[in-house]
Structures are given as structure tokens and as C-alpha cells.
Amino acid sequence: MNSLVAGSTGLVGSLLIDELLESNSRVNAICRNKLPSHHEALTYHDINFDDKSTYQNLFEGVSDAFICLGSTIKKAGSQEAFRKIDVDYCFSIASVASDAKVPHLSIVTSVGADPKSKNFYLRCKGEIEDKISQLNFESIAIYRPGLLIGNRQDRRVAETIGQIVQPILIDPFLRGSASKFRSVRASDLAKSLVKNSGKNQGKKIYHFEDFLRL
């Protein structure tokens, strides 16, 4: 497997890279800043997300592309800036992958993603799902996790509190159709991304219960 990971320095992206390397995949990891590689099969590429020419040549020979790119409205600074990252940049990467004939694409969005949602965050997540679904891939895997459990480099206070409270006080009551809203260990999501890439033809959406079938 030859892979490309966008959002390679985030919580899920960094764990995904470790899983890919463990599965003997060669990895092109794209990010904003040049980083030293800790593995001979891993290369970090600093790119300009606003300029496709800085990453178009990185998809040659890639079989599996993973988009773990995302932000928060607070971190991005505005809804417009958030949408640029979570919709425009993600779609740009996916469209380049499609043009390069990459067969398999996986993307992490969010539980509740819906292009018609009144919630701006969930509406953006639903919009990028719809846009990517129109591209030409042999398989598209869409992951809709709930609250992610793991150690982020950028500490988010509300999320840190949620990571402590939800698994104990909320998750036990989320059963049946509501189980998709349970918190998810980022490490389980990363393993699922690797295991399921290219597994199914066409588009498939994965929720909480799917992340545990490893």
C-alpha cells in the first residue's frame, strides 16, 4: 500500500500514520510545515493548501488517500475560515486524488453530518461528504465519529472535560440507534481507517459500532 495522509499532525492523522507504517505502507504526509520523519517509509511534505501545484505530484502511485483534516470554528477564527479548511481544502485534496486515479479515499467527518443541518459545523461536514461523493473513486469510506478520546497537541478545554465525563456518565445510556453518538477512541478510529480502506466498492459510511469491529 502507498498512502497519502492529509491532516497528518492532528490526533487521528498522527495515529493513522503509525498504523499505516505498522502495516508496511509507504506514507506521504502533507502538512503546513516541514517536519522530520521518524521512519524511512514516511515523508512529510510542507504544502500550500491554497495552491494545488504544491501537492499534485504527491499522489503518483498512491493507492489509498486519507483526509483527516479539520479544525474548530474557535481555532479557525471564523465560520468562513473554518469552512475553507473543512470543506474547500478537503475537497481540493480529494479532487486532486480523483484526477490522479487514486482508487480509494477515506475521510473523517462527524456524527450528525448533514448538508441541511441548522448547525453550521454539521452542515459543513455534510456538505463535504456530498461533494466528495460526486468524485470518481472505486471506494469512498466516510467516518462519522462522536467525541474523540485521545491526547491532542492543541488542548481544547471543553473537549478535555468531555473526554472525562462522557465515557462514564453518558455513553452507557447511548444504546441502539443512539450508540453512534458514543465517544470513540482515536486509536480505534485510526485502526478502522487502515483496515477498511478499499474494503468495499462504492460509498460506505462508518459509525461508532463499526470502529470496534477490528
Cell of 29: 504526509
**Cell 521512519 belongs to residue:** 39
Residue 56 dihedral angles phi and psi, to the nearest 5°:
-60, -35
Give the SS3 label for residue 62.
coil
Q: Which of the residues 44, 84, 125, 206 is marked catalytic?
A: 125
The CA distance from 132 to 145, in Å, is 18
- The reply to whether 121 belongs to the active site is yes
Rounded Cα gap, residues 37 and 44, in angstroms: 7
**Which residue out of 121, 180, 191, 206 is catalytically annotated?**
121
Rounded to whole angstroms, the Cα distance separating 5 from 55 reads 12
Instruction: Please say whether the dihedral angle defined by the alpha carbons of residues 86, 87, 88 and 89, taken in this order, is positive or negative.
Output: positive
Q: Which residues are catalytic?
A: 121, 125
